[in-house]
Structure 1
Amino acid sequence: MPTSLTRNFSIIAHIDHGKTTLSDRLMGATNTVAQRDEKEQLLDAMDLEREKGITIKSHPVAMEYKAMDGKTYKLNLLDTPGHVDFSYEVARSLAACEGAILMVDAAQGVEAQTVANLHLAHAQNLVIIPVLNKIDLPAADVEKCRRQLEDILAIPGEDAIPASAKAGIGIIDILEAVVARVPAPVENPDKLLRCSVFDSIYDTYRGVVSYVRVFSGTVKKGQRIKLMHTGKTYEVKEVGVFTPKMSARPQLVAGDVGYVIANMKSADEAKIGDTITDNTHPCPEPLPGYKEIQPMVFSGIYPVESSDYEALKAAMAKLQINDAAFTYGSESSTALGFGFRCGFLGLLHMEIIQERLRREFNMDVISTYPSVIYQVTLTDGSELIVDNPTFFPETQVIQEIREPVVNVYIMVPGDYIGDMMQLVLEKRGEVTNTETIDDMRVMLSCVLPLGEILVDFNDKLKSMTRGYGSMDYEHAGYRPANMVKMDMLIAGDPVEAFSTIVHRDKAESYGRMLATKLKDVIPPHLFVVAIQAAVGGKIVARESISAMRKNVTAKCYGGDITRKRKLLEKQKEGKKKMKMFGKVNIPQDAFIKVLKSGD
């Protein structure tokens, strides 16, 4: 099929606006999937995606569609994740397209991530096809959504296609719009092989499977290829397209979206965003846009059973091939043993990785409190990057600490604007701009420290606005902050698993909260156990676990009271000695209970 009849497009939207349902309907309308194989959320391969109702991995699919003009077109669809944590994956998928369907829920209107994903599409100069989904709902307001498209996104309202993916309304209109509005791929005149790797997965039997978009040239079985970032060469074992299962083809030509299987065995070899070219006649320069993914949130992940360390290491290596944004390195802890320091794009990404470790690899893991990267300038002028409280320098050698900040865009109903501003202030943020979107909703632009929105900000936003609020954020560099390392002392000994970096103003309240939790999970001993939160040697919070008391007078059957007093005094002396030499035993499940309960 000639390149002029190929159309590459993606679907972008806010979470739960119907991307995956529309993908199912488009595959049904083009007879890509046999009727007996049809099911809901067809492109969501993981059980986790089905349960949470979100797309975690982008899934390409090749479809053939006979248009109204009588020609048969090859349509390559790239379904993308909607959550902010996976925006890099969205950007890489969009780089492989010429157009994008922008879906807006007709009942909810434009949301925060609709705006963010549209910016990503504009950055790639894509043709935008607006679709108003869920028009069959009683609460749908199509005209209001058309006005929002014009006012907020500067897209002509009359271009929007009214549709309902669930009811099958407007599906043919969408396909015709893709054929008519999305331009055909343009091949480089020199015809040299250029493929962009936009995703990869790991197959136990065949190694690394690279998802590629061919920009020019041809790739086929037996060909020697070269990855431009690593400089390594491989022999192609198989090429093909997704229908949506892998389907082998003799070759992939310019404009095609498919997969390439070469003899790649390790995670380091398959870099997302890399360029594949021919080894004999390589292209002069790689395709633009490749950059290393920078994790923003760090957490320690340890096996509950120390004997599972090697199995966990192997599981993480396989996960990294499936998810290039996930990074890990070895570390050890006195309390938790050997484990890994892992980097994630955000908190949802961290939750997904832990859940995949449990389900796909049957690993029982425990994670430490999430932290972000701090930049520290020392008094001797040297710079230090700190992602782990263990490596936080002493206060006297620190000149300045800078924490990462994010620009947050929050959309809330106008009734909740006061509560929302209060929440932003509580989290040490500031509201820089407020914009009225329509008669119901307001958009707040805020600057907040990344560390403050990690754990419970989104949950509080949803509960405060009864589910109507939405947020999106982008990284906005670093700013100076008064951060301190807080240690938890149990019977005078610091326990590094509970150490954390907090703002000085919040150290006392956070220390009190953690001390209360520890009091509930550490069992009583024969002496009083002090649980203290300390900042630089100063105690800011304390809880005590009362001593377990043995009834030493039980054997006294009458007699003089002095006999009982003598036994009680002896017990008291013993407890004093025990307090001096006794060790507090913190059971493993105490760490798990405290660390798993989060904030």
Structure 2
Amino acid sequence: MKNIRNFCIIAHIDHGKSTLADRLLEHTKTISDREMQAQVLDDMDLEREKGITIKSHAIQMNYVQDGTSYVFNLIDTPGHVDFSYEVSRALAACEGALLLVDAAQGIQAQTISNLYLALENDLEIIPVINKIDMDGAMIPEVKDQIIELIGCKEDEILLASGKTGIGIEEILDAIVKRVPAPKGDPEAPLQALIFDSVFNSFRGIIAYYRIFNGTLKKGDKVKFFNTDEEYFADEVGILKLGLQPTQTVKTGDVGYIITGIKNAKEVKVGDTITTSANPSLESINGFEEVKPMVFAGIFPVNTEDFEELRDCMEKLQLNDASLTFELETSQALGFGFRCGFLGMLHMEIIQERLEREFNQTVITTVPNVSFIAHTTRKETIIVNNPSEMPDPSTLERIEEPFIRAQIITKPDYIGNIMTLCLGKRGLLMNQSYLTPTRVELIFEMPLTEIVFDFYDKLKSQTRGYASFDYAPIGYRDSDIAKMDILLNGDKVDALSALIHRGRAQDFGRKLCEKLKELLPRQQFMIAIQAAIGAKILARETISAMRKDVTAKCYGGDISRKRKLLEKQKEGKKRMRQIGNVEVPQEAFLAVLKLD
């Protein structure tokens, strides 16, 4: 055990984690030149294109130093804020972390929040400045930022370049010297932490774990703590580039287990594995059910594709256990699913994967968050979409989720960020200078306001120089109302939204204007209205297409013309009562792009 080192790489999105991991694998000859490709641990084509890690990966390396051979278990982590629970479980499985900072960008919000997660798990932090060969590298400034942040000595900071391979030897040395060997009792009952799982269409679900105490043998009967299910370990082993079966996996090691589970809900990230014969009495703490933060409806473009979409969603859930969905029907869009996502990036990825991997084109409704409604009968209702909102007459109060947002930027953009956040009902809690050129702003704000377009606006207001990270802080009372869109008095349920009363009129007016541009003109007049209950907040009218019925009257009496026009008007009135308005697809997408 004393020669095992478990570590992970933590960094802000796009600071070069995957490239550095490539160099480590190359240097320790874990991967042959033939197998080598850029971002070798990111195996999804989406990850390669966007240059982000979506799913965390683990791989084992062997390294020889001064004649002693060491086993390194590297657990790669995602860098985006949506996946912070996965990062926290990966950190719990390690004893050390490489804190990677881009030499050109310096410390960003995600760097700090991941660092705090690592410190909570008592990890040994090895600071590394990456991309030192770039033209814009500010090495002395970034060193000062790191020293100020974690209070280390200057000679403890390593300089590296993942692209050219500078400093890789020093990093491997530091891992051996600074990262403590795992502790644990090989004789104690088995305790293993699941930090990830993948689905294989031939073998079922493969769970990745790190053993804290005890040993896991092939053929053992194992029990999963939080689901209380028992299985046989058909195969256990360690993780090289592929899976490598072994007879036993010992304390301190990272490995995989195949038990033939077919249902993704039975394997939860953060759960504890123990044996049925000699069970451990307590689980490893820190387990949470993954809670979706953002909800949206996903509907097939053609209603007859519904069954096919259901199959695709189930297959996708096997690969991504944090996706939740349930059935939903809409008058405007037919049958579909109400899906829960970890955040906006997660939603975008799911949509993209449905199109790429399953050729499904789908309509996504307006994303919203879940509210808690308290009725006068002392009932508590969780409202995930506008149609579940209880009747206003029975509603006592409603609570919405709040987050603590951390924004790190240059001092020049403080004014823009303040304007943006205060406009989104944010409260400034703290403002502090990390360095003379870096300022950290902490806001408390409603999650609803962030779901739409907050991130894009933040980037454009600060020319891309702000980084943003958030964590939920619970629910607070709020004045939320359900706004409906009416076309000629009929509600279009797919366009309803739950919105703060103070913002409703403004939002309603913009939405009506947008729909006026998008809805095709009919033979009859269409009234587009935004309403809360019976109160109309905004209205736009699409005038009817008219035929010139008086063209056949050459001269003649005015009453002749009046008669023809009155007759036309009657027809239009009758048509309006029976005519229904078709809402084109662009209208649903337009709501997502409102300013």
Q: TM-score, normalised by structure 2?
A: 0.96
Q: Aligned-pair distance for 1:98?
A: 0.8
Q: Is the 8 A contact 1:267 1:317 kept in 2?
A: no
**1:184 and 2:177 aligned:** no
What is the match of residue 94 of structure 2? 97
Q: Aligned-pair distance for 1:241?
A: 2.5
- Superposition pairs for residues 314-353 of structure 1, below 5 Å? 314-353=311-350
Q: Is the 8 A contact 2:511 2:594 kept in 1?
A: no
Q: Aligned-pair distance for 1:47?
A: 1.0
Which deviations, in whole Å up to 9, do the C-alpha atoms of 1:172-215 show, x marking residues without a partner?
A: 10011011111111122533222211111111111111111122
Deviates most, 455-464 or 246-255: 246-255
Taking the aligned partners of 2:29 and 2:591, their CA distance within structure 1 comes to 49
**1:194 and 2:191 aligned:** yes
- Letter in structure 2 aligned against 1:593: L
Q: 1:189 to 1:240 in 2, by over 3 A?
A: closer
What is the match of residue 483 of structure 1? 480
Taking the aligned partners of 1:577 and 1:241, their CA distance within structure 2 comes to 74
What is the match of residue 380 of structure 1? 377
Alignment counterpart, residue 34 of structure 2, candidates 3, 12, 36: 36
- Superposition pairs for residues 52-451 of structure 1, below 5 Å? 52-67=50-65, 69-188=66-185, 190-451=187-448
Which deviations, in whole Å up to 9, do the C-alpha atoms of 1:261-312 show, x marking residues without a partner?
A: 1110112211111112222222222222222111111111111122222222
Q: Aligned-pair distance for 1:257?
A: 1.4
What is the match of residue 513 of structure 1? 510
Q: Report SS of the residue matched to 1:36.
A: coil
Q: 1:238 to 1:559 in 2, by over 3 A?
A: same
Q: Report SS of the residue matched to 2:522.
A: coil
Deviates most, 143-152 or 120-129: 143-152
Taking the aligned partners of 2:96 and 2:305, their CA distance within structure 1 comes to 46
Taking the aligned partners of 1:298 and 1:287, their CA distance within structure 2 comes to 30
Q: Is the 8 A contact 1:149 1:156 kept in 2?
A: no
Taking the aligned partners of 2:189 and 2:446, their CA distance within structure 1 comes to 46
Q: Aligned-pair distance for 1:313?
A: 2.0
Q: Report SS of the residue matched to 2:327.
A: strand
- Letter in structure 2 aligned against 1:385: I
Which deviations, in whole Å up to 9, do the C-alpha atoms of 1:31-75 show, x marking residues without a partner?
A: 1111012111111111111111111000101111112x2211110
Q: Report SS of the residue matched to 1:248.
A: strand
Q: Report SS of the residue matched to 1:539.
A: strand
Q: Is the 8 A contact 1:302 1:340 kept in 2?
A: yes
Q: Is the 8 A contact 2:265 2:321 kept in 1?
A: no
Q: Aligned-pair distance for 1:389?
A: 0.9
Alignment counterpart, residue 45 of structure 1, candidates 10, 31, 43: 43
What is the match of residue 536 of structure 1? 533
Taking the aligned partners of 2:307 and 2:569, their CA distance within structure 1 comes to 48
What is the match of residue 594 of structure 1? 590
Q: Report SS of the residue matched to 1:371.
A: coil
Task: Give the CA RMSD over aligned residues.
Answer: 1.8
Taking the aligned partners of 1:105 and 1:117, their CA distance within structure 2 comes to 15
Deviates most, 79-88 or 409-418: 409-418
Q: Is the 8 A contact 1:486 1:535 kept in 2?
A: yes
Which deviations, in whole Å up to 9, do the C-alpha atoms of 1:357-380 show, x marking residues without a partner?
A: 221222221111111121222223
Q: Is the 8 A contact 1:366 1:596 kept in 2?
A: no
Which deviations, in whole Å up to 9, do the C-alpha atoms of 1:518-558 show, x marking residues without a partner?
A: 2222211111100000012111111111212234456x385
What is the match of residue 10 of structure 1? 8
- Letter in structure 2 aligned against 1:12: I
Q: TM-score, normalised by structure 1?
A: 0.95
Taking the aligned partners of 2:205 and 2:487, their CA distance within structure 1 comes to 47
**1:501 and 2:498 aligned:** yes
Q: Report SS of the residue matched to 1:354.
A: helix
- Letter in structure 2 aligned against 1:63: M
Deviates most, 190-199 or 427-436: 190-199
Taking the aligned partners of 1:273 and 1:598, their CA distance within structure 2 comes to 38
Taking the aligned partners of 2:80 and 2:287, their CA distance within structure 1 comes to 21
Q: Report SS of the residue matched to 1:78.
A: strand
- Letter in structure 2 aligned against 1:405: F
Q: Which blocks of at least 5 consecutive residues in structure 1 are unaligned? A: none
Q: Is the 8 A contact 1:376 1:383 kept in 2?
A: yes
Taking the aligned partners of 1:320 and 1:90, their CA distance within structure 2 comes to 19
Q: Give percent identity, aligned residues only.
A: 51
- Letter in structure 2 aligned against 1:60: A
- Letter in structure 2 aligned against 1:29: H
Q: Is the 8 A contact 1:193 1:277 kept in 2?
A: yes
Q: Is the 8 A contact 1:211 1:259 kept in 2?
A: yes
